[in-house]
Chains A and B, each alone.
Chain A
């Protein structure tokens, strides 16, 4: 949980929501390279793509509770400015200073990794020279109750790939990445593989066929083979179904020896922000030459047949994949390469 995210500036007060506050906090981290990209390319050539699953829903939940107490929605509640994706996007665009195409991608837990795919397409099609791309989701009662209704919510930190796993643990957060056609960044997002399971709205294909397609698509997009992937940052939510499907997909497409870890044991599941957050963590892994530990994975479920990294270790990482899976059977595989 993000502690006390500051209120937005007065000019954006009508857009105020917890999601906006968290997204603005994270945007400060990319302010310097973003300003440099805008100066270099012009604001019209810099796009903005945000992945989110709930947008300003947290603000609406508070407003409905206030209505039940007072009989009317709060006077400072604005549905379009605070709840809607468009309102959130508009406020973020004003702070970012970008004037290129701007949109939200919302595909549940793959939202911000799909946003990376969209951003890459904007650059490759020469619509943009740079794109600020990220994800943001705030904690909401609706999602907590929803996952509880599905029987997959854990009351403790999630433990992906452990025999003692007992479900997902929802967090909140935001992450931004600046993609540029030319630049001196710490890594390159060279390809994003995408696919669908065609199986279920809320459960992964048990054989991981959709996830495997996404991995294979990412490799094909970059023209590389499976043996050149040095690390996989798994979706790893901590449910039995996810672990089994994802492990099957990884083992089938990349082999059983590639090092795998899930960072959700440390961050929780950030839902629409998970893809961008985990892509950023994968960039950090490649830049620093460190494979992060899969926290909470002991005792490891060895029946999964993957090489799980349980303690951090140094490694030369030339290429790494960050995987995401979502409601609707939506899958992505983000390929991060050393520059």
Chain B
């Protein structure tokens, strides 16, 4: 939709592999949610992959449901508890918790944005990151993730947490890094992403895996209401 961009680093957090919260201060790590833990872990891996030590560029986060476990806990405190709310949990209940924590820990005053669009969350988060690059950002850290959903809300949504991160830059001249291009709308007969009761961020597993193994090709991304996006992964343009 807005041209090609390159991937300088990738990170993934899934399964019981443990988390890496070294991006955050010891105080920030206390009481951190599943969502934030996975997204911070993925972000740290992408930064390490790109050998980036200082964050001085925008961060875009994407999450379909954000801090949904914290939202449920706050609701239950009011309904079933003594009516009081934990200020610490309230502070970290916002959709932009992860970007706020990372910017505070890193001392970065660059812009942070957090987006959502149901099953289309991965696609629109990539779009927003790409738009920020076109707008002049030298790099963008994109981190996308969703935690498991409290069963009281919907017992059919029984998925594990997943988060993925990409460190993106505009494609300019030769590079030894793979390229990405986001395309919409796409007419396709292939399965459009994971089933509707799967973690909305599941496509990040395919994207990160393909980039790590230097596989080219298309990853089909579900849209919001039955439409489809495609992320085209291309070979490097040449040796830098």
A interface residues with partner B (beta carbon < 8 Å) = 44, 53, 57, 60-61, 64-65, 67-68, 73, 79-80, 83-87, 89-90, 93-94, 99, 101-108, 114, 117-118, 121-122, 124-127, 141-142, 145-150, 194-202, 209-210, 213, 326-330
Determine the distance from Cα of A127 to Cα of B134 in the docked complex, in whole angstroms: 11
B229 nearest CB across to chain A (Å): 9
Determine the distance from Cα of A128 to Cα of B120 in the docked complex, in whole angstroms: 18
Q: Does B216 contact A (CB under 8 A)?
A: no
Contact B90 A146 (CB under 8 A): yes
Contact A106 B157 (CB under 8 A): no
Determine the distance from Cα of A147 to Cα of B74 in the docked complex, in whole angstroms: 12
Contact B153 A60 (CB under 8 A): yes
Contacts A79-B157, A198-B108 hold; do A90 and B118 have CB atoms under 8 A apart?
yes
Q: Give which listed residue, A64, A93, A104, contacts B225 with CB less than 8 A.
A: A93
Q: Give which listed residue, A93, A105, A117, A327, contacts B100 with CB less than 8 A.
A: A327
Determine the distance from Cα of A99 to Cα of B224 in the docked complex, in whole angstroms: 10
Q: In the complex, which of the residues B85, B99, B111, B112 has the most CB atoms of chain A within 10 Å of its own CB atom?
A: B111
Contact B154 A118 (CB under 8 A): no
Contact A202 B80 (CB under 8 A): no
B91 nearest CB across to chain A (Å): 5
Q: Which residue of A lies closest to B119 (CB)?
A: A86
Contact A146 B93 (CB under 8 A): yes
A41 nearest CB across to chain B (Å): 16
Q: Give which listed residue, B93, B114, B149, contacts A105 with CB less than 8 A.
A: B114
Q: Which residue of A lies closest to B75 (CB)?
A: A64
Which B103-147 residues sit within 8 Å CB-CB of chain A? 103-104, 106-121, 124, 127-128, 131-132, 134-135
Q: Which residues of B contact A201 (CB under 8 A)?
A: 91-92, 97, 100-101, 104
Contact A80 B131 (CB under 8 A): no
Q: Which residues of A contact B149 (CB under 8 A)?
A: 79
Q: Which residues of B contact A124 (CB under 8 A)?
A: 134-135
With A104-B115, A149-B86, A201-B101 already in contact, 20 other A-B pairs whose C-beta atoms are closer than 8 Å: A61-B79, A64-B76, A68-B79, A68-B80, A84-B65, A86-B224, A99-B227, A102-B120, A103-B115, A106-B66, A106-B114, A118-B128, A121-B134, A124-B134, A127-B131, A149-B90, A150-B87, A198-B103, A201-B104, A330-B100
Q: Does B94 contact A (CB under 8 A)?
A: yes
Contacts A79-B154, A118-B128, A150-B87 hold; do A198 and B118 have CB atoms under 8 A apart?
no
B76 nearest CB across to chain A (Å): 7
Q: In the complex, which of the residues B1, B80, B110, B112 has the most CB atoms of chain A within 10 Å of its own CB atom?
A: B112
Determine the distance from Cα of A146 to Cα of B106 in the docked complex, in whole angstroms: 27
The secondary structure that dominates the A interface is helix
Q: Which residues of A contact B104 (CB under 8 A)?
A: 197-201, 329
7 examples of A-B residue contacts, CB within 8 angstroms: A64-B152, A79-B153, A80-B157, A86-B117, A103-B128, A146-B85, A328-B96
B167 nearest CB across to chain A (Å): 18
Q: Give which listed residue, A57, A142, A328, contacts B103 with CB less than 8 A.
A: A328
B interface residues with partner A (beta carbon < 8 Å) = 1-2, 64-66, 71, 74-80, 83-87, 90-97, 99-101, 103-104, 106-121, 124, 127-128, 131-132, 134-135, 149, 152-154, 157, 184-185, 200, 224-225, 227
Determine the distance from Cα of A65 to Cα of B120 in the docked complex, in whole angstroms: 31
Contact B154 A198 (CB under 8 A): no
Determine the distance from Cα of A67 to Cα of B151 in the docked complex, in whole angstroms: 13
Contact A210 B109 (CB under 8 A): yes
Contacts A103-B120, A125-B131, A149-B87 hold; do A108 and B79 have CB atoms under 8 A apart?
no
Contact A118 B113 (CB under 8 A): yes
Q: Which residue of A lies closest to B93 (CB)?
A: A146
Q: Which residues of A contact B114 (CB under 8 A)?
A: 105-107
Contact A60 B66 (CB under 8 A): no
Contact A103 B135 (CB under 8 A): no
Contacts A89-B224, A194-B111 hold; do A107 and B118 have CB atoms under 8 A apart?
no
Contact A196 B79 (CB under 8 A): no
B61 nearest CB across to chain A (Å): 9
Determine the distance from Cα of A150 to Cα of B90 in the docked complex, in whole angstroms: 9
Q: Which residues of B contact A102 (CB under 8 A)?
A: 117, 120, 124, 224
Contact B110 A84 (CB under 8 A): no
Q: Which residues of A contact B108 (CB under 8 A)?
A: 196, 198
Q: Which residues of B contact A213 (CB under 8 A)?
A: 109
Determine the distance from Cα of A253 to Cα of B120 in the docked complex, in whole angstroms: 39
Contacts A79-B149, A121-B135, A127-B131 hold; do A197 and B93 have CB atoms under 8 A apart?
no
Contacts A196-B103, A328-B103 hold; do A104 and B2 have CB atoms under 8 A apart?
no
Determine the distance from Cα of A256 to Cα of B139 in the docked complex, in whole angstroms: 35
Q: Which residues of A contact B86 (CB under 8 A)?
A: 149
Contact B90 A198 (CB under 8 A): no
Q: Which residue of A lies closest to B128 (CB)?
A: A118
Contacts A89-B224, A146-B74 hold; do A107 and B113 have CB atoms under 8 A apart?
yes
Q: Which residues of B contact A83 (CB under 8 A)?
A: 153
